[in-house]
Each structure stands twice: as structure tokens, then as C-alpha cells.
Structure 1
Amino acid sequence: MRRRVLLTGGGSAILAAAMAAAAGAQARRDGPPAARPSGPPGRERVEQRFSSARGQTVDFYTAVPAGHGDGRGLPVCLILHGGTKRPADYPALGLGRFLTDAVRHGAAPFVLAGADGDRLAWQPGGRDDPQRMVHQELPAWCAERGFDTARTSAWGWSMGGSGALLLAESFPDSLRSVAAFSPAVTPGDAVFRQVAALRTVPVGLWCGTGDGLLDDVKALRTAMPVKPVAGGYAPGRHDFGYWSTQIPAAFAFLARTLSP
């Protein structure tokens, strides 16, 4: 198996693609992410794995908070990316640093894990099924590392935010919680149609007040059978400049739900 390893301390699909493209264009205009925590990351790795669900080789990213070795025995937060960033970008975004920072501020430790999804949506598309990859293959790859996949949550932004919510709706018994940043949703789509399934899954929902998706995110919140237990609206647009400011709160929320 070839590996590249980095180590440091239908209608809905078309609509999702259009929203992802628009979000990506806005993110490129809005500039770089907010400042990352200054503390070091723990062990971060990006390697290649073959995904049978996707029919192709994908980048597989994991991060362990500093001071927790290889992360054996720690629960897992699955990452679903948006339209522009990929697992190879996660170290530069500072995700490992944010994870270490959350633990140093009192959050129970957990690991991050993610892989390349489709550019259109985290939904099946012919023989390419990124949702099945996240539900079946990612946990299996994590179990090989010794992570505790019996305790799993999901987090995503933009297209990945809607993908994380849809994952929770499709497999509510498999996730302890889901955190969504500015999810690319619209009334009538798959996330709205299955929203009743979120009744048993704690949800954190965040969106910037300058985000073009704000009205749809608010409509989703209204439609949810149980209101989000974390999240809110704050100044910001559809970019990592805003999302970076919300990562600490999201990681604190996820850590609480992943605690033994």
C-alpha cells in the first residue's frame, strides 16, 4: 500500500454543487483563516488509503492532541470537509493545534479523522459513495490505529456541514453528536426531509451573520425536532476566517459528548 505520511509534533446534488462552488468562491475572496493557537499539535498524519466505497485512493488524515501519544483508546471526531479544503490542507489550517488547545483548556481528549469526499456532496453518486466511506471505512481505519470507534461524533463545514447532518440523520445510532458550521442546506433537500431523525442526536449548529446561507440555516434550526444544544450566530462570512473562531466552542461541545 502506497503511503504519503506527514508527521508533526439528481436535483439535490446539482444544488449542492452550486452552493459548494459559490461558497468556495466566497472563501477565496475572504482571505486566510483566523490566527491559529500557538501551541504545538500532537501527532498529525496524512496517508493514502484505497476506499472501496469511492472506488479510488483518498487522503486519510488523523490528529491526536499533544501529550496523548498515538491516541490509542481515544474517541473519534470524523471530519467532513467543504468544497475547497481537503485533508492535505488540515495541518496548515491548524486543526491539530486547535485540538491540542481544546484539551489544554479542559476538554476531554479525542482524535480527529477525515478523508477526501466528493466535490458535489457527501451523498452517494453512482458507484462513488463518500457517505459509506465515512460511515464504514473511516471507523475501520481508525480502529486499526487503536482509536475508540464506539465513541464517535462528526463535524463539518459548508458542504461538509450538511454532510455531517445527513450522516447523523441516516445513522443516528452511530454518532454521539454532530457539529455543523454554515451547512449548505436548503428547504426541501435531503437534510430537511430527514430532519426528524435528529431527535436523538445532540447537534451544534453555527453560522455567520454575513453568510449567504444564514436564512436557510435558520430555517433548518426551526425545522429541527430538538433545538441545537450548542452553536449560534456571530459576525462572519462563509469562510475559515469565521469558522476558525468557532472551532474552540465546537471542540468543547464534541468533547463533552464523547466523554465516557
Structure 2
Amino acid sequence: MSEADTNPSVPALSVAGVSHSFGEKQVLDNVSVTVPRGTFAVLLGLNGAGKSTLFSLITRLYDNVSGEIRVLGNDVRRTPGKALQRLGVVFQSKTLDADLSLQQNLLYHAALHGLGSAEAKRRAAEALTTVGLADRAHEKVRNLSGGQARRVEIARSLMHRPGCLLLDEPTVGLDIGSRESVIGIVRGLVQQHGLGVLWATHLIDEIADSDLIVVLHKGRVLFSGRLPGFLAETGAKTAREAFRIMTGTASTEEEAA
């Protein structure tokens, strides 16, 4: 265990002064985000705000050429192996192998992280219990509902014991019950294990009063703080109204990111 893992002052995720462009189009402009440990942070923004691009930089799918990104104190450019080892990710697109069982999907991920067979099976059972699917470990993924598959992806992201979780629009396409289940599981991980979570969404109703709110709009961070500050800064009575005022948009549910 590194010094950063035992030092509570080191945040789960630190993004400082990051910009990114595709050709002449700038999609992120001097973005800074800090997610302390034990914090559920909501990255709130419409389609095209830059949420997925930011996630791609954090996970090294893209290279950040400006600013600095650290996961539990580990710089993703200078020590990518250490940084990614502390990071769990649930992408918006489906990434499970439908022809493999739940357990097999998790064991494959464990092998990529160098875990031995016995330890991997133990962790898979533990992770599937956490998401309420231990009794379906040997079923094929194709038999699952969309919400259940999302829960398996969360279980997979826990296999290597990360300190920070990124979830990119994880409830898109899910019914209300499945959305509540997925959100509840992740909030439980924050409370029980002290994980830092960055949850990207365009849905205002996924915000809880205790969350850290980060508003990303057209590649820029317009606000970072708690709900009382969000309301006070805009003079709004609700988070939905505050978002509309701050971004000059009609609704956060007009487009799905």
C-alpha cells in the first residue's frame, strides 16, 4: 500500500487545468475537478458538454497534453500503471461479453490485473454479492436485464480494489427501478468503503443533497460545490432551476449525453 493510500488528504481524483481539442475544436477548456475520498461527485452536463472526453483523458484513452490528472496521487501520464490500478470504470457503452457468465466476465478482468485464480474467484463472489447477483454467477450475461448488466459492470470495476470509480452515464436506458438500484449500490460503496466516485449524468434527479456537484457546460466548469452553494449562486430554489439559470438552457433532459 502506497503512502497516498494511507494519507486521507490525498484526493481520490484530481484534475487540474486540463484542456483538450480535436483539431481546431476545443472541447475542454482549463477544467479542474477534485473528488475527495468518500465523496459522491456528480459531473452534470448536457450532451456535448465534454463529460466523455474528460473520462477518456482520465482513463488514458486520450493523452492529456495540458494540465495534470492524478488518481490517488498517481499522475496518469508519468505513472499510468499505478494510476489506472487505483481506478475503476463503468463506461456508457456495454462492455460485457454476452456469451460468458457473470463470473467469467469478472475473472477475465481479474486476470488482466494479475490476480491469481483462487483470489479472483473469491473477489468475484464478493463483488457479485455486493451488487446482489451472487445467485446468478454462472448464468450468461445475455440473460440479464439492462439494469442487472450494469450491476455486473460495477462488480467488475471493483475486482482490483480501486480507490476511485468513474461512471459515465451509467443509468442511460434503464427504467426507474433499475436506476435507483444502480445509484443505491454506488452510494453504498462510497459510504461503506470510502471510495471517491465521479458520476457523469445529464439527469438532475440523480443528485442528492450531500453530493458534490460539478457543472460542466461547453467544455468549462461553471460550478463545483454543494447544493446550498449551487442554489445561492443562482438564486434558484431547486437544482433543476439552478442548472437552467447557470447554463442558459431549457432543460437537462432535452438531450441524452
Q: TM-score of the superposition, structure 1-length normalised?
A: 0.32
Instruction: Work out which structure has the larger RCO, using CA pairs closer than 8 Å and 6 or more positions apart in sequence.
Output: 2
Give the TM-score normalised by structure 2. 0.32
The structure number with the bigger radius of gyration is 2
